[in-house]
Every structure is written in C-alpha cells, then in structure tokens.
Structure 1
Amino acid sequence: MEKSPRVLGRPRHDEKAKPTQEVVLLTATNLFIKKGYKNVSMDDVARACNVTKATIYYYYPTKGDLYTSSLVGMMERIRFHIEQILNLPNPFKERLEQLVEVHLSATVDIDMKNFMREATMNLSESQLKKVHASETAMYETIERSMQLEMDRGTIRQGNAQFFAHTFMVLMSVGYFKDGEGISLFQTSREAAKEITDFFWRSIEN
C-alpha cells in the first residue's frame, strides 16, 4: 500500500498496437481529466492524437458522444477495481478500508463531481442515461457486497442500497479541503481508517 496506485479511472497510456478509436478515447479522457469538458475541443483531441478532426468525428459524431464514452469508460474501470478489492478473501472491514485508501490515492486528480456536473449541463438525455447507468453499476457492485455480508452475518441487517450510497458519500469526505486548500486528513491511509471506522460503527453486527 506504500506505492501510490495508478489513477483508477485513467486508462493506461500505452498506444502501441492500439486501434485508432481506442487511442482517441484514451487521449480524450486524459485531456478531459486535466482540463474539463469546456476547455477541450475536438481539434485539441485530433492534434494530441496526431490524426485529422474528420477521424475523430468518424468515431464520435459529437463532443458529447466523446465525453460520454470517456465518462462511461472511467466508471467502468473504477467499478472493476472496486469489484477486485471487494472480492479479496480478507475480512470485510479490511476490504472496505483498502477500497477507501486505494480509491482516494488513485483518483486524486479526477474530480468526479465536476465531471457529472458538466455531463448534466452538456449532454443529451440519451447520453446522460448511459452515464447514469455506469454510475449505478458502480454503486450496485458495493451494494451486492453489502448484501452478501449481511447474509453471512458479518454486518447487521439493513438496506444494502442505503449502506452502499452512505459508504460512497463518506468516502468522498476524503477529498475535502478547506478554503486554504488544506486536506481534512494528512494521508489517504489516515482517511481510509477514520472513514471506515466511522462507517463500520453504523453497520457492525
């Protein structure tokens, strides 16, 4: 856990032998992470990929389509890593703590709230449905784990969906910074322990 993990939502930056569409999506995702929706144009993506703008439009007819695919891809990668951690054999509380630490360390430069806010402002209804479906899948991964541990008697009986959403909200507290940019916690490990301990007291059997 000492080694800082790769950003969970960021695709691997290895363009060797990748199809053009994958390179375009990888590049656009990294640009959106750094600059946000409004500050990235299709021209920017084309230049960064060293392809024509027509090539970008061939795969993604609109900037909204490209942004949608970027968001969906990020959330699918995050969900995959969440599932991997929750399927480990160690005790449930340890898995939750590890999930918080890895998630906070590896998504430090991804402002998901801003991503979702920009999506709401700039995407069509059908595009938003795709984004929300991926977001729901992330929560459902945690929800299934909560339900499984209830069935095992590890945690108290309750609403698994409520537990999952509460856990994710508490995890976001780990990103908090005051007006001077000072974090609430000194390290991701400290945040993970405090957040998990607080959450665990509400669900322990």
Structure 2
Amino acid sequence: MTTPRTTKRSPGRPKNVVDQPSMRDKVLSTASILFMELGYEPVSLNMIAQRAGVTKASVYYYFTNKADLFTTSVTEMMTRICSYTLRIVEAHSDIQTRLQQIALTKMSRSHVEFESLMREAMPFLTQEQRDDIRKAEHQIHEVLADTFRQAMEDGHISQGNPMLLSHAFSALLMIGNREMVGDKAYTPAELSASIVELFWKGISPRHTAE
C-alpha cells in the first residue's frame, strides 16, 4: 500500500492557503497603523505580529524584514489614499467642498508627520525602496494638482502652479498632527474647515466693495 505524500509547508506559511491574502492584508494594515501612529524605530515585527494576531514567522513569510514591510505598507497605504482622494474629487463638483472633504478625511486619522517618519526610516531603506515610496506619494499630489489645474481652467481659482498648490495644501494638513493648536482644541471637522478657509482666503485683508 502506497503512503500518500504530504507537502511540507515553508516555515511560517499560513496553514490555510485560502487565508493567505487576508493574512497579508491584516499584517499590512496593522503595520501601516503602527508606523503612522508611533514612527519607524519604535515599531518592531514582534509588535506588528502581536497586534495583527499572527506569528512572527508568518510576518517573515510575506516580508523579508522591517524595511520591506514598511515600504510595502506605506506604498499600499498611499495607493489607498490616492483612491480615496480621487473618489472625493469625483463625488463633488465644487473645489472648496472637495478640499474640505479631503481635509476632514485626513484629520479623522491618527498619523505622524510624514516627512519626519521618512527621515527616521531613511537610513534603513534602500534607494529603490525610497523611490517606491516617493512615487506612491507623488500619485496623491498628481490627483490634487489635477484638481487645482481644472479649477484654474474653469476660472474658479487664480492661475498658478497646480503642483505647488498641492504640496502647500498637504503641508497645511500636517497641522492635524497636533492635539492642540496654541491653547485651543479643535474637533477634526472644526480644524479641517479652518484650514481650508485659511488656504482658500489667505491672510490678506478683506476689503468690502464700496
């Protein structure tokens, strides 16, 4: 009688093949949340595995090391943000409403200042990994820049550099990293509305028509 052959699993490989994509997504989702909340260095693969409810070996099955997991989690997060941003743009015709909704979405999520996160992670990343992250980030700016460019063509805002406006607006949204602005506490809705108003109207004196 012939004994049936059994296939040996790779170390850390999930038992159920069907569950592989969902486990990978769970690890990525958990990693992106922890990196954005705590920064790069404080987060370990053990911490990610425990929070995701998987073994460390399972994390290593999908990702070579922490830098690999960081790069993948951040680039996929950027891709999701780009999709959300595009969805908001397509759902609203008024540019000011678009900006308010984009700002509110940003303010409603806990996050560290992205450039600070990148400076912290940079020594641990290869040039290819750095480039992959920057390309994913640039896609978001392209969506915003296209929005500003269309608004200029429609005469809704003044002529200018659409990509510069994209970066300027994104930089203003970094204020949302603070729990307090001076001695005043804002809800996400209040802060997003105030930031968009500042961006929209600027700080020049408002003159009423005589």
Q: Smaller-chain TM-score range?
A: 0.7 to 0.9
Amino acid at match of 1:191: L
Structure 2 counterpart of 1:19: 22
Q: For 1:60, which of 58, 63, 70 is the aligned residue?
A: 63
For structure 2, the 5+ residue unaligned runs are: 1-17, 203-210
Cα pair 2:141 2:167 within 8 Å, conserved: yes
Structure 2 counterpart of 1:45: 48
Identity of matched residues, %: 30
Q: Give the whole-Å Cα distance in 2 for the aligned partners of 1:60 and 1:25.
A: 10
Provide the secondary structure at the position in 1 that maps to 2:91: coil
Structure 2 counterpart of 1:194: 194
Structure 1 counterpart of 2:112: 111
Cα pair 1:177 1:184 within 8 Å, conserved: no
Deviation at 1:26, TM superposition (A): 2.4
Q: Give the whole-Å Cα distance in 1 for the aligned partners of 2:141 and 2:89.
A: 12
State the TM-score, normalizing by the size of structure 2. 0.74
**Cα pair distance change 1:184/1:161, threshold 3 Å:** farther
Q: How does 1:1-205 map to 2 (within 5 A)?
A: 18-104=21-107, 106-107=108-109, 109-113=110-114, 114-176=116-178, 186-201=186-201
Q: Give the whole-Å Cα distance in 2 for the aligned partners of 1:26 and 1:126.
A: 22
Q: Give the whole-Å Cα distance in 2 for the aligned partners of 1:176 and 1:44.
A: 25
Provide the secondary structure at the position in 2 that maps to 1:55: helix
Structure 2 counterpart of 1:6: none
For residues 15-71 of structure 1, what are the alpha-carbon distances to aligned partners after superposition, in whole Å with 9 as ceiling and x for unaligned?
x95533223222333333444322333333344445443432232112100011111
Q: Give the whole-Å Cα distance in 1 for the aligned partners of 2:55 and 2:85.
A: 37
Q: Give the whole-Å Cα distance in 2 for the aligned partners of 1:51 and 1:171.
A: 34
For structure 1, the 5+ residue unaligned runs are: 1-15
Cα pair 2:112 2:177 within 8 Å, conserved: no
**Cα pair distance change 1:125/1:176, threshold 3 Å:** same
State the TM-score, normalizing by the size of structure 1. 0.76
Deviation at 1:127, TM superposition (A): 0.7
Deviation at 1:133, TM superposition (A): 0.7
Rg (Cα) greater in structure: 2
Amino acid at match of 2:68: D
